[in-house]
Structure 1
Amino acid sequence: MSDIEAMFSQVRVPKEDQDYQRFLWWPNGNVNEPPAEYRMKVHIFGATSSPSCANYALRKCADKSCDPNVKDTIDNNFYVDDMLKAVPNKTEGQVLAKRLIDTCNKGGFRLTKWISNDCSVLETIPEEERAKEVKRLDLQRDSLPSEQALGMQWNVQADVLGFKNRVKDKPVTRRGILGVVSSVYDPLGMAAPALLPPKIILQELCKAKLDWDDEIPSKQRKRWEDWMRYLPLLEEHFMVPRCIKPENMVIQIHTVTSLLRWKRVWVRSCVIH
C-alpha cells in the first residue's frame, strides 16, 4: 500500500482555466490593507474537478509505461491517491514497487508512505519513502504496525482486517444513535451482524414516530446501552484474513453424468478441497 504525495498539487491547470481559481488574500495577514488577487495554477483540494483531473493525468502517465503490470495497477488499484495491490509473491512485489515508483516519478508523482506485510519488500523501498510508522523499525526483529487502508484497520503483521472504534459521545436520541452506527465504517458488510441490533432500535423508533431529538423509551434505551458496552469487542476481537483464498487451496471441477428415469440430466458440481 502506498500514497501519492499532494496528488492534486502536482497537476497544473491549463492557463486558460486558471482564472476560475482566483481568490483574494491580505498581504502579510493585515486585513486593514486592500486584499491582493491571486489565482491557483494547480488543482486544489476541495474542487469537484480535482480528483478526476488528477486521475486522468495519472492514467496518462501509466500509458507511457511498457510494463503491463504497472499499467494495470495504476488503472485498477488506485483510489484517487491511495494504491492498494496484492501480488502472489515477494519477488513480484519488489519488482512492481520499484517500477511503480519510477513510472510515477516520470509523471511528476511521488509515490510514498509504503507499507507491506512482507519485510523483504519493504527493505527494497528507500527509508524516506516508507510509512512513518515503519521508517525506524528493525525489519528483521520488530513487528509491523496496524495501518488504515481506505477506512479499514489493517493489522499488517497478521495480515488481517478489523475495525477501529471512533465513537464519540452522542445523545441517546434517534439522531445520536444514527450517528454512532454510521461511524462504523464497514464497506464490505463484515460487521453487519454486530450493527443489526441498533438498526432494529432505529426502525422501532421510526415506527413510533419519535422526532430526531426526542428522548427514547426506556426499553430501547436499555438495549442501546447494552450494545454500546459490547461495541469495543468489535475492535478487540473481530479480525478477518485479508486474503479470502486460503493458502494451498486446490479447486477441482467434477462433471457427473447420470440417467434419471427416461430423461438425461447433466449434473455439474464444483467441489472445493
Structure 2
Amino acid sequence: MTIRCRPATRRGILSTVSSVYDPLGLLSPFILKAKQLLQELCKSMYGWDHVIPQEFAKAWQRWVNELNMLHDFQVPRCMKPENFDPVETAELHHFCDASESGYGTVSYLRLSNHQGQIHICFIFGKARVAPLKQMTIPRLELTAATLAVKVDRMLKKELHLPLSDLTFWTDSTSVLKYIHNQTKRFHTFVSNRIAIIHDLSHTSQWRYVSSKVNPADDAARGLYVESFLRSKWLTGPEYLNREKRTWLKHTEGLKEIPANDPEVRKEITAVPKLGSDRPRGPEGSAGIKVRRRALAPPPGEGKKTEKGDRKPETLGDQTKRKQRTKGD
C-alpha cells in the first residue's frame, strides 16, 4: 500500500483517508480513527488549508505510519475453506454497537456441514463517526441497529445464498426493549427507526451479546493497527464456533420499559370529578368560560330600575318607538 505525501491539513487528511479503497469494510475500525480526527478538526473550526496544531499532527502521523504497516495485510477471498463438505446450513450474524465517538456493524457468515464442522467468515463491516449534534447512547445504539438491518437487506441481495437463519446481536438492553415493545409509544426519532427495524427484521431474530465479546465494539471506538491485528473483528466471537444450545440467552425484562424512560411519550388521561356529569374547570363550568350578558328589554318597554320600577320614557325613546311602529 503506497501513500502519497500530502500536507497536514484538513484537505490533505481527507484526501489520504479517501484514497484507502476498502469496499468490504475490512479496515473499518482502523479508518475510523482518521475519521474521528477529521471530525475533531471540524469541531475546532480549522480551515481546509490551515496547518493543524501539534497535538493533532502527532495523532495523524501515527495513523499514517501504521497504515504503511498494513502493506502485507491479507485475508482469504473464499468464504468456504478447502475440504469443507457440502454446506448444510448458512446463517448470517450481524453485530452492532455504538459509543460517544462512533457506531457501526459487522456481519459474519456461519457455515456448517453434515460432519458438524463450523466455519465463520467475515462478510462486511461498516463504521461511522457519531453525529456532531450530541446524542444519547441509547439513540446511537438504536442507530447502529438500524444500520445493521439495512446491511442485512443489502447482503441478502448480493450473496445469492439459501440462508437458513438470520440473527442480530446487540449489547444494548434498551434497544432490545424498544424492539420487543408492543404497547408504548415513542418520540419521533425512536419510532421511525423502530419502524425500519420491524419492517426489515423480526423481533425473534434479535438477541443479546455481552459487550466483552461484541466485535462491533471495534467499529464503535476505532482501533490502531497493533490492536486491530489482535482483535476479533475478522474472526468473530469465539462462541459462534460452538453449537447453538451452548449460547447464552438473555430474555428477562425485555418487554418492560421503565416509566421514566425519556423516549416514551407521556400519556395524558382526563378524569371527571366525582358527583358531576362532566368535568368542571376552574371557573365552575365544564372547563369553558361562558360570558353572560343581560337580554335587552322588548321594544316599547322602559328600562327598569334596581327596585323593579319602570323607568319613565324620555322624548328620544318615544320618537324611536313611533318610528319602529311606522316601519312595522
* Common topology (TM > 0.5): no
User: TM-score, with normalisation over the residues of structure 1?
Assistant: 0.31
When Rg is computed on C-alpha atoms for both structures, the one with the higher figure is 2
Higher strand fraction (1 or 2): 1
Which one scores higher on RCO, CA 8 angstroms, separation ≥ 6?
A: 2
TM-score (norm. length: structure 2): 0.26
